[in-house]
Amino acid sequence: MTPDAAYKALETRFKRMNLVYDAIAMLDWDAAAMMPDGGANARADQVATLKVIAHEQATDPAMAELFDQAKPADPWAQANLREMRRGWLHATAVPGDLVEAKSKAVSECEMRWRTARKENDFKGLLPYLRRVLDLTKEVATIKAEKLGRTKYDALLDEYEPGGSSAEIDAIFDDLAKFLPDFTRAVLERQAAQAPALPLEGPFPAATQKQLAHDLMASVGFDFEHGRLDTSHHPFCGGVPDDVRLTTRWDEKDFAKGLMGVLHETGHAMYELGLPQTWRNQPVGFARGMSVHESQSLLVEMQASRSDAFLRYLAPKAAAAFGKSGPAWTPENFARVYRRVSRGLIRVDADEVTYPAHVILRYRLERALIEDRMDLADLPGAWNEQMRELVGIVPPDDRDGCLQDIHWPGGSWGYFPTYTLGAMTAAQLYAAAKQADPTIEPSISKGDFKPLMAWLRANVHALGSSLSASELLTRATGKKLDAAVFKAHLKTRYLDG
């Protein structure tokens, strides 16, 4: 077989595998948003079977020979081959029976988590979560040997290609030292100012959803290629040509659902903007989760909590809910939307305390993967870390270690990408505004087109052709710099 034919054969195989994973993504969305609880067992079998089919394709012995022979000349094809090989190494490291066992354990644990959180029942979830953790550690051990990395870094590489816990430790230890004093300073400044006037409801869920649809359209979301639904935990799923967003609504506080939608819309815009020419090929995928999180946090935190956007949002929200008065001014919205507090829930946290929630989870999951902590001790360790990092202790496990779906869902090594993404978002937004001074004036009118045009050219359209570090350097002129994130926080919360 010629080098070109070998490469084309790999393209065909990876397209087939990706289409199987696309089907899994749609089934996962349905399980979260539509499926009745009684369908859980059948869905677990369906997803597990599809994962085995994809795994069998990836581990076909012919793949090794194709990789040896393939030598494309086109730079994008070369990058695609690199990404194919990385995915293949991950897939071939784990035997099919372990893939199937973990998939079933995750499906069972996710369904049990829904009940456990509602009933504040960590003990009831424990055996299911322990099964997921044990299987995850098996996967980590195998991949660590195959990839020549630590167990935790082998899991991290699935979400942040090339990322290392040593680099994350340095960044997070620095933030953990910076955040407590900075948070206290912000809270003191906030206490000395006029308090935010409450935005009084109720806010009907149907009205919230219509407002969310309008704002999604302002950001540029294409409803011909996606939709918004409700689930227990907000997420962005589906596939690049059919993106599925979910959120949850609180009729006493429309900010939670609305900002959740804007966050997930940032994810969606990235997916919708990935290079069409390379659909179903690894080089056409998003470049790891820190870049993905940067896109959601750029829309939600950097842009949608800016003074510019709040000048647009305040009157629009007032009209939607039939409200008026001093509470519904952009100035009060800024106090509401940028209020800092020591809260319990990560997804509702402000951008000052949010990194502390992530550092907590990163430290705990590493300890669990590296057998430095027993899973039964998680609630106590969680509460201790919350006291140290956030300055508040959960009254129960429902709002403590049971609040996230990530670990029951088998996503270990994912959490650090949230704060890496926040730092990346700050750096990208600063560079975008410098490159195009019309971005913030346009956002003040509900027009995200200039911002999205810059992101399309500098992030979305590049797919996985570059590493995360190369992409950020190309877009901003330097590698990830924590000083940019700190400067953003200081400007917005102490100097503004």
Q: Which helix (H) or strand (E) holds 238?
A: strand 235-239
- Asked whether residue 30 falls in the same domain as residue 157, the answer is yes
pLDDT of residue 286: 96
Verify that 290 and 369 share a domain, yes or no: yes
Residue 167 burial (CB < 10 Å; 0-12/13-18/19+)? middle
Task: To the nearest 10°, report the CA torsion of 463, 467, 473, 479.
Answer: 140
Instruction: Check whether residue 409 and residue 479 sit in a common domain.
Output: yes
Q: Are residues 156 and 238 in the same domain?
A: no
Is 182 found in the same domain as 40? no
**Could you give the CA distance from residue 81 to residue 67 in angstroms, rounded to a whole number?**
8
What is the average per-residue pLDDT within 284-299? Answer: 96
Going by C-alpha positions, the residue among 464, 492, 483, 411 that lies closest to residue 162 is 464
**Do 339 and 306 sit in the same domain of this protein?**
yes
Cα-based distances in Å from 87 to 54, 55, 73, 277: 12, 11, 21, 20
Pairing between β-strand 235-239 and β-strand 242-247 as defined by DSSP bridges: antiparallel
Tell me: do 273 and 133 sit in the same domain.
Answer: no
Catalytic residues: 264
Q: Which of 161, 176, 206 is a domain's end point?
A: 161
Are residues 188 and 121 located together in one domain of the fold?
A: no
Encode pLDDT of 385-418 as tens digits: 999 999 999 999 999 999 999 999 999 999 999 9
**Same structural domain for residues 153 and 194?**
no
Q: Tell me the whole-structure pTM to 2 decimals.
A: 0.88
Q: How many domains does the chain have?
A: 2
pLDDT tens per residue, range 146-178: 899 999 999 999 999 988 999 999 999 999 999
pLDDT category at 96 given cuts 50, 70, 90 is: confident
Q: How far is 121 from 119, CA to CA, in rounded Å?
A: 5
Domain residue limits at 279: 166-495
Structural domain ending residue among the three candidates 161, 180, 206: 161
Q: Are residues 202 and 85 in the same domain?
A: no
**Contact partners, residue 388, CB within 8 Å, separation at least 6:** none
| pLDDT for 283 | 98
> Of 143, 161, 179, which residue is a domain's last?
161
Same domain, 194 and 339: yes
Q: What is the pLDDT of residue 256?
A: 85
Contacts 24+ apart (CB under 8 A), 170-173: 171/419, 171/420, 171/423, 171/482, 172/355, 172/358, 172/359, 172/362, 172/363, 172/416, 172/419
